[in-house]
Amino acid sequence: MNIVKFMEIFSLKGRAGIHKFIVFKASKQSFSGKRFHKLCDGKSPLIIMIYLQTGLIFGVYYYRPLKSTLLQMVDPLCGAFSFFSDTLNFYTLNNNIVRYNKWGFSFGQPENIFINLDSIERSVCNIDMTFQSPIG
């Protein structure tokens, strides 16, 4: 998938910036699975971006709405991405699986990405992302 297709799928092309569409920002609204689900469940499409101190941005996107009544779903449009130094890369998720967890969400089966918003240090990314670090 390329950036144009990515933007078309998520209706971002031609909009006046993504910031007006932010539904949940953990660094401001607290790292909480309950809060995330309260603000984000049922919304679609959704892009989840994680900013690292190294400058790498990675995340996942999905088109079908996440709901507590549907603990696992298949979304053929879901995927992962990384962005660093003007390079955008896309990654497929195992079996296009999106899972609802009370503490956050996970993607892929077996899991490629697991985000625990109640205990962020327990989050896992099992996608091999290669990027050039700004510190060498």
pLDDT of residue 7: 57
29: left (phi over 0), alpha (psi -120 to 50) or beta: alpha
The SS3 call for residue 20 is: helix
Strands (E), the chain: 46-51, 57-62, 72-74, 79-84, 87-91, 97-101, 104-107, 113-116, 124-125
In one letter, which amino acid is 73? M
Q: Give strand pairing partners of 113.
A: 107, 125
DSSP-assigned beta bridge partners for residue 46: 62
Q: Indicate whether this model's pTM tops 0.75.
A: no
pLDDT band of 17, cuts 50, 70, 90: very low
Residue 17's CB: how many other CB atoms inside 10 A? Answer: 7
CB atoms within 10 A of CB 22: 12
pLDDT reading at 136 higher than 50: no
**Residue 100 predicted with pLDDT over 80:** yes
